[in-house]
Structure 1
Amino acid sequence: MGDRSMALSRRLPLLRQVTRRDHHGNLGGDTMTDTAAPKTTVSVTINGRAVEAKPGQLLIDACEQSGSFVPHFCYHPRMSPVGMCRQCIVEVEGPRGKSLVVSCMTPVAEGQVVSTTSEPAKRAQEGVLELLLANHPLDCPVCDKGGECPLQDQAFSHGPGESRYVEEKRHYEKPIPISDIVYLDRERCILCDRCTRFASEVAGDPLISFTSRGNNTQVMTFPDEPFASYFSGNTVQICPVGALTASPYRFKARPWDLDQVESTCTTCSVGCRTVVQSSRDELVRYQGVDIESVNWGWLCDRGRFNFESINSKDRIGMPLVRADGALGEATWATALDAAGRVLRCARHHRPRCPTR
């Protein structure tokens, strides 16, 4: 018997109802109209505001949809939820009363009343953040993530005013180069599982993972095997605490000093959307932009770090046109005119095409 038998017993009355014949002997009859169509939305109340959410939608997404921010670190909309950091706790009132739930692991339900700012929710969020900061080095002035760090921002907005911990913090050797580009600072890591999930779920090359257990858990690569992924730079971008940094940007600039413009990566024909960031007329960083139909916020390492060639002193700064067997600098107008002549000549399959 068990669950399968119980499920079948619940289905049998419906099957009998559907296959019942009417007085003419025909199958079905009016009994088919008794099966209601599935609902397309779920009505919930978030911070006093009515919200229509999709069935199965996570509470954290519904809160975001309603304009209510929920602090979080491990949750990322492009990866599976794991509930690692527990920072996104909210208060939910349902048929059984009020309770605190992890919003990144809890789907919406009809009639839920959610509060992200109630006293129990705020105390829980402050408590979790205090624990996350217990061993964090608080080295914001020298951290590349400073100024755009979710941990820094949420420590101010949702954290306790002061720490009760006076014990010595945990220390590791740092930073560790886990690849030619990526550096790991284990003291900053809060074990949010973003980098490891990206490597396994998105990139498909799980070269970075958790090691040890309990208080000794840490992120590491496998022995004698570097983080040689074509998409390793994405782990740096999604890291919420600066535990992973990229060598081309380390100690180069602060986020508030950057000039930026949204553009399209020109490395290949995919056309990934990116934000080009510069400081003092020098390119310092490319960041992925979440465009659903193109790259979903991800960039390959070739597209992300290829800008270093633009800053090279050996880069050609002026057009060069060959004349009398030697290349010489020319104006853009002269170079484009020469290129046009060569293309027109090549169209007629001539063996030699003059540039002047």
Structure 2
Amino acid sequence: MKLLVTGGAGFIGSAVVRLAVGRGHEVVNLDALTYAGRLENVAPVADSNLYSFEHADIRNRAVLTRIFEDHQPDAVMHLAAESHVDRSIDGPGDFIETNITGTYNLLEAARAYWTGKDKAEDFRFHHISTDEVYGSLGETGLFTEDTPYDPRSPYSASKASSDHLVRAWFETYGLPVVLTNCSNNYGPYHFPEKLIPKVILNALHGREIPVYGQGLNVRDWLYVEDHADALLLAVEKGTPGRSYNVGGHNERRNIDLVKTICAILDEKRPRDSGSYTDLITYVADRPGHDARYAIDPTRIETELGWKPSVTVETGLEKTVQWYLDNPDWWQPLLNVEGVGTRVGTG
């Protein structure tokens, strides 16, 4: 299969690219290389004759049309997005332009291409989204594919909008789409503005480890390579018009997650004195901070046969070790705004 992967130099996108090439798929990586997109993320497969790169922005419809014509993909895996909630609070415009307008442009370019191929039945447009579109859960319950949308941040609202566009293009034009909504990802190559890598790097540099509120917000954590496996399965075997929730069965409170990372670091890279937990600092909560996310992945497990393989304990240890082993990857990022410091205070 020949895959056009948008956002393939980002965190989740690069995991998809690496896994897809490793499994023998041809991959065209389309990425605008904004602050979070790095070609270093796909360096392990960059020399493969199955891999090619297009430096392009999904907001540019003409370029998208050319890329479809040049590469003739069998499927699109759409991961290109602005994805950091805190940044969406400070500057929502980029999220509207990329996540909504960019998705519209890609849908139209894909529809024109698919129509030109006599509406090939085996073509797929796979839209990758987030559980944040569902809003916030109480202490019990799980998000299913039938949970009503209730986004609470500019980021999640923009992703909800893109989900609705994708479904509309299926219902109105018959474009064969598949949607997936995932829980929080973590693992190697995670841009260090996000919680887990920020905790690791702040700890290693002796900086305060900020925890929003009392750290009681709950997330379901999904190891990124498990997610990439689910995404490839969905694009190959998912039913057109169907959506699939992808979760890790790994709910943890933020404070417990942070303390687990500190304990791993205490063992692997001990401080001169004390524990890394001494660096934990409670800060004012994020505006519109959802209390709990939890995914019910029954549909993808029963219909497509996928299950997560990495527990959060094993995944965190692997992730911490990766950051310890790869300072050349993260050191150039330490001066990027939002890395090690707080953004999105409203």
TM-score, scaled relative to structure 2: 0.28
In terms of Rg, which structure is larger? 1
